[in-house]
Structure 1
Amino acid sequence: MCHSLDRELANTPKIAMSEEELIYLAILAGTIPVGFLFRYLSPPVKQGAALLLGLSISLATCRIHTLHSLITVLGTWAIIKFSWRSAPSLSLVWTFLYLLFFRLATLFGLPPPTPFANAVQLLLTLKMVSLANEVQSYHLMKKEDVSSFTKSSVIGGLSQEPSLYDIISYSYCYIGLMTGPFFRYQTYVDWLQQPNPSSLPGHVPCLHRLKLVPVYGALFLYINSYFPLAYVRTEEFLDHQFFFRLFYMTAVFFVFRMRFYAAWCSAEAGCISAGLGCYPEGAMSKPGGGPTVQYSPDPDTPVVYDFKTIQNIDCYNTDFCVKVRHGMRYWNMSVQWWLHHYVYANAPFKAYTLRAAWTMFISAYWHGLHAGYYLSFLTIPLCIGAETALEGTVRAKLGPMGQNIFDWVHWFLKMRAYDYMCMGFVLLSFGDTINYWTSIYFSIHVIALGCILLGKQLKGKGEKRVKKDDDIQQENVGEKKE
């Protein structure tokens, strides 16, 4: 069977990228130098040029399917215009229902959307829901200001309701059109109205973000050539021993990470070159959300800027943070902000694990209808429950050395959990995902459930021991009284 694998790998190109990946690469590479030119444009010209470029990219890659995104924008505009009070919930329902129609378009006799149209639709869904929330906040704060005669203290609030042209311009702004990162409408407005954008930092932070992209790209191409995903679906793969099958998911997840590290770092560089998301460090900006505090710089002190608002990936912490729950914070960070503020915060549950499960379900739906997404995302709450169960019953009772060893084991299992869940994300179908997980005996599910049961057992023994100690103490107090 090793000879079968050799033949399979021999027939695999050592360096190969699909046509779609090459187009994505060309768009990402092109937006970086173009961004520096936008710094010299006036706000109206910048708005029009960004819209024109974004629409051109959309029409060139999505063609007739651009109508899907346009319908979504017009529907959201109508909701905001005629029902701003209910706009957040209505826009969420509208955009998510349209996502369903978009993905089932072939059932209605429509041609299947291109992958580029899917990418535009995903990012646009986030933008429209966020915009509806921003407009509602604007109207509520406006009413509060009128009634109290005080100036609004809201951070990053709108100064006026956007027009249809403003909404379309925001929706089709060329920056992050297909690759992200997600950014709020207020971030877009701040970008247009920057007083002196050419003086803001650009070349140094841009190069800093790009310095490892060639490494990520080379590792993606090289490792992918030796560990192709398609091989997992073959009968020969199942003939290999258990540890080979188990290791394969580690290689696949490594390839997956390198691909997105390269893409997202390049996308961030495109934002940086244009100056989008550039705020003073004192504003304490969050990825996706922007500034979190009102900041007035001292005129006698040089202002230091950052681009945290458009940061979408923290490569180091993604790889080396200890916990599963922390790993999500550093991956696709702008989307995580969106999920936290618009889904997790409004979840119909109070328990953390259930709220996390609800958020993961919505995230899976946003990604697509493939069963692999749901199998992967809904495994995350199980892993979170496992690590929570042992943190209080095991780690908390260990000394410094024991806790250090516990954290290293925890980190190792966290990475294997993400390897495991990644397989569902890339294999997509229910059958392929279950077949692979079966081939490694559902190891992560078994370990997670075992940790939960162990944690409950240790917690139960601890409670019994405390209760017994309390009973003995009460008996001793009674004897002393006698």
Structure 2
Amino acid sequence: LPRFTENILFSMNWDDIIYVSLLVSSIGFGHLYVHLPVGSARRWVGTCVGLIIMTVVSGIHTLHPLLVSVINLLILQFVSKRWCHVVSLVVSFSYLLMFRLCSYIGLPDPPGHTNAIQMMMTLKLVGVCFEVHDTWQLKKDIKKSTEVLATSPPATNSDSKTTKPEDQVETTDGTELRKRDVKSDEGETVTRSKPAPKSPEELHEDLQLRLKYEAVEPSALDVMHYVFNYCGILTGPYYKYRVYSDMVEGVSGGKQLVTWWWCMQRLRYLPLYGVLFLLSSHFFPLQFAESTTIFSDYNIMYRIAYMTPVFFTFRMRLYSGFVLSECVCIMAGLGAYPSDSKPKPGKGPTLYKQLESSDDRSNESYNYETVHNIDEYGADFTATVREGMRCWNMTVQYWLATNIYKRMAAPKPLKEAVTMLVSAYWHGMYTGYYLSLLTVPFILMIEDYYARLIRRKLAEKGTRIYDWVTWFLKMQWFAYMGMAFLLLRVDTTLTYWRSIGFVGHGLILVLHAFAQFVNLVYGKAQFKLKKASETAFGKDSRLKVKSIPELEKQVKEERRLKLLAAAAKKEE
């Protein structure tokens, strides 16, 4: 047993040891950092510690983050706020390409940890430019709203006291919803709710709240403090400039907040992840998937099965790293907001009215959802690839959704494909990233199609069975794509995928073909049903039938009513 334990421990990657050591040290330092005075002390100490960490792992390559930061400062200074976010996105991602091609232009290759730092630096710098642009746009919207209010007639007292419609209800978070009846695909009447329309005064108030809690106007020095702060400098999580500003100015958090308690809550399962990672990586090493032995001595079923423990090792490694990264932010007090403000990963609070209260809050009334980067349970046990991906690297997912996906005016499948392409580009230049992430949009289309075609037509028991089947497929697809993400090179990835018959892509094609067949048969059946219904009841009939047995039942009932009517007429 001692020899076995020694072999496992000494098989750890040296980069992982450095990474874990720096994260643990940063967690410990956070206990001192959170007690620093707000303002300049937190800014300068956080920046100095971040620069020390960067210099330790990067050495002379620290010049890359410094250079790209200076470039973005020039963009913020000299480019119009209307376009600064677009220019920053193009320039920063172009520099990321040059950074990864250093060896091709005569520069020394940066170490792996510097690549991780450069990745997070790129998101932060582009993100702060988007925040500056959005602040500019928000001020324009407020100006227009003010003009609308000035030209519209003032609301009378009787208007303000008007009772709400009976179909309008108020939720626990203060959002007013209006009920409405809609027709489902099956012809059934379903009651749904949507936000009630707001008056111009309410819209103006919402804009003012957004300006108060979202607006940023950072100086050049503020931006440097933000991007070089030690929280998240290695591998995240990503957080907005406004979240950082709230932390250093003492806006987030409170006197009753106990950071170490929250840190311990997050660390509960870390020992389990660490032990499982060491065991799994020892018994199922990734290197074996690249060896000739697995192709010559083992059959296709073994190679398909081997993907699952390799992906399990990958998950345990990421879970451990993400949890430690979150704890660095937690101990520093970064991202602590009241729970009733509904914070979201990367963004911060979303219900700003809840922040208006100045009452003292208990420790338990806060949460760190803003820096929550991985939902381990959701990643493992949600039923679909779409839901599972939302639980991975959630703060970066927020960045991609806010700054890429939602900014495009295009069909949903195209937006998903472009977002995955940007994600693959951000991860690196290896072909494996593109082969892996660009498979995702096709899987999402299949999942959405089957959800419309089959799942929503099932009863409760059928839905549970359907979800178990899709969960199994999700984990197999994740393992299949994970091999490309880990093997990285195009030759090793395609060699392994070819040895298992490209089963992941083949499954997509089979499911798509089956869905088209079912849709064709179902469409013909619905057409025949409609014709039979029109024959039995006439084209103007409002009767809706779902199946042939139901149609026969309605025909018999119609005949019975006609016979009764004829008998009654005869008696008269």
Please report the TM-score for the alignment, with normalisation by the length of structure 1. Answer: 0.93
Aligned to 2:185: none
Deviation, structure 1 residue 400: 2.2
- List alignment gaps of at least 5 residues for structure 1: 1-9
Aligned to 1:305: 366
Deviation, structure 1 residue 106: 1.2
Say whether 1:29 aligns with 2:24.
yes
Aligned to 1:456: 516
SS at match of 2:323: helix
Aligned to 1:192: 248
When residues 163 and 478 of structure 1 are mapped into structure 2, their CA distance, relative to the original with a 3 A threshold, is closer
Aligned to 2:118: 121
SS at match of 1:153: helix
Deviation, structure 1 residue 348: 5.5
Say whether 1:103 aligns with 2:100.
yes
Amino acid corresponding to residue 271 of structure 1 in structure 2: C
In 2, Cα distance between equivalents of 1:366 and 1:297: 38
Deviates more, 1:468-477 or 1:449-458: 468-477
Higher CA-based Rg: 2
SS at match of 1:85: coil
In 2, Cα distance between equivalents of 1:180 and 1:144: 32
In 1, Cα distance between equivalents of 2:53 and 2:256: 28
Amino acid corresponding to residue 164 of structure 1 in structure 2: A
Q: Structure 1 vs Structure 2: percent identity of aligned residues?
A: 36
Q: Which runs of 4+ in 1 moved over 6 A?
A: none
Q: How many aligned positions are there?
A: 470
Aligned to 1:177: 233
Amino acid corresponding to residue 518 of structure 2 in structure 1: L
In 2, Cα distance between equivalents of 1:178 and 1:300: 36
In 2, Cα distance between equivalents of 1:159 and 1:234: 54
When residues 234 and 280 of structure 1 are mapped into structure 2, their CA distance, relative to the original with a 3 A threshold, is same
In 2, Cα distance between equivalents of 1:240 and 1:160: 59
Q: 1:17 aligns with which of 9, 12, 19?
A: 12
SS at match of 2:348: coil
In 1, Cα distance between equivalents of 2:434 and 2:405: 17
Asked if the contact 1:389/1:456 (under 8 Å) is kept, the reply is no
Q: 1:268 aligns with which of 322, 326, 332?
A: 326
Q: Deviations over 1:252-287 (max 9, x none)?
A: 110000001011111111111110000001111100
Amino acid corresponding to residue 8 of structure 2 in structure 1: K
Aligned to 1:356: 416
Deviation, structure 1 residue 160: 5.0
Deviation, structure 1 residue 92: 0.6
Asked if the contact 1:40/1:198 (under 8 Å) is kept, the reply is no
Say whether 1:229 aligns with 2:289.
no
Say whether 1:412 aligns with 2:469.
no
When residues 14 and 346 of structure 1 are mapped into structure 2, their CA distance, relative to the original with a 3 A threshold, is same
In 2, Cα distance between equivalents of 1:478 and 1:259: 65
Deviation, structure 1 residue 479: 9.8
In 2, Cα distance between equivalents of 1:332 and 1:202: 22
Q: Deviations over 1:356-382 (max 9, x none)?
A: 111111100000111100000011112
Aligned to 1:296: 355
Aligned to 1:434: 494
When residues 325 and 156 of structure 1 are mapped into structure 2, their CA distance, relative to the original with a 3 A threshold, is farther
SS at match of 1:412: helix
In 2, Cα distance between equivalents of 1:395 and 1:427: 35
When residues 301 and 456 of structure 1 are mapped into structure 2, their CA distance, relative to the original with a 3 A threshold, is farther
Amino acid corresponding to residue 81 of structure 1 in structure 2: Q
In 1, Cα distance between equivalents of 2:300 and 2:105: 44
Say whether 1:65 aligns with 2:61.
yes
Say whether 1:447 aligns with 2:507.
yes
Deviation, structure 1 residue 332: 0.3
Say whether 1:50 aligns with 2:46.
yes
Q: 1:258 aligns with which of 303, 316, 328?
A: 316
In 2, Cα distance between equivalents of 1:80 and 1:376: 35
Amino acid corresponding to residue 28 of structure 2 in structure 1: P
When residues 159 and 390 of structure 1 are mapped into structure 2, their CA distance, relative to the original with a 3 A threshold, is closer
- List alignment gaps of at least 5 residues for structure 2: 148-203, 542-572
Amino acid corresponding to residue 42 of structure 2 in structure 1: K
Deviation, structure 1 residue 30: 0.6
SS at match of 2:209: coil
Amino acid corresponding to residue 257 of structure 2 in structure 1: L
Amino acid corresponding to residue 355 of structure 2 in structure 1: S
When residues 198 and 117 of structure 1 are mapped into structure 2, their CA distance, relative to the original with a 3 A threshold, is farther
Write the mapping of 1:65-84 to structure 2, written as runs, cut at 5 A: 65-83=61-79, 84=81
Asked if the contact 1:288/1:310 (under 8 Å) is kept, the reply is yes
Aligned to 1:469: 529
Aligned to 2:564: none
When residues 156 and 320 of structure 1 are mapped into structure 2, their CA distance, relative to the original with a 3 A threshold, is farther
Aligned to 1:5: none
Q: Deviations over 1:380-435 (max 9, x none)?
A: 11211222232222323333222211111110110010000000000001111111
Asked if the contact 2:76/2:84 (under 8 Å) is kept, the reply is yes
When residues 449 and 236 of structure 1 are mapped into structure 2, their CA distance, relative to the original with a 3 A threshold, is same
Asked if the contact 2:88/2:125 (under 8 Å) is kept, the reply is yes
In 2, Cα distance between equivalents of 1:332 and 1:480: 54
Deviation, structure 1 residue 300: 5.8
Aligned to 1:340: 401
In 2, Cα distance between equivalents of 1:64 and 1:457: 60
Amino acid corresponding to residue 279 of structure 1 in structure 2: Y
In 2, Cα distance between equivalents of 1:281 and 1:124: 28
Q: 2:269 aligns with which of 205, 212, 216?
A: 212
Asked if the contact 2:131/2:216 (under 8 Å) is kept, the reply is no
Asked if the contact 2:284/2:310 (under 8 Å) is kept, the reply is yes
When residues 392 and 480 of structure 1 are mapped into structure 2, their CA distance, relative to the original with a 3 A threshold, is closer
Q: CA RMSD in A?
A: 2.1
Say whether 1:38 aligns with 2:33.
yes
Please report the TM-score for the alignment, with normalisation by the length of structure 2. Answer: 0.79
When residues 188 and 298 of structure 1 are mapped into structure 2, their CA distance, relative to the original with a 3 A threshold, is closer
SS at match of 1:76: helix
Deviation, structure 1 residue 204: 1.5
Aligned to 1:7: none
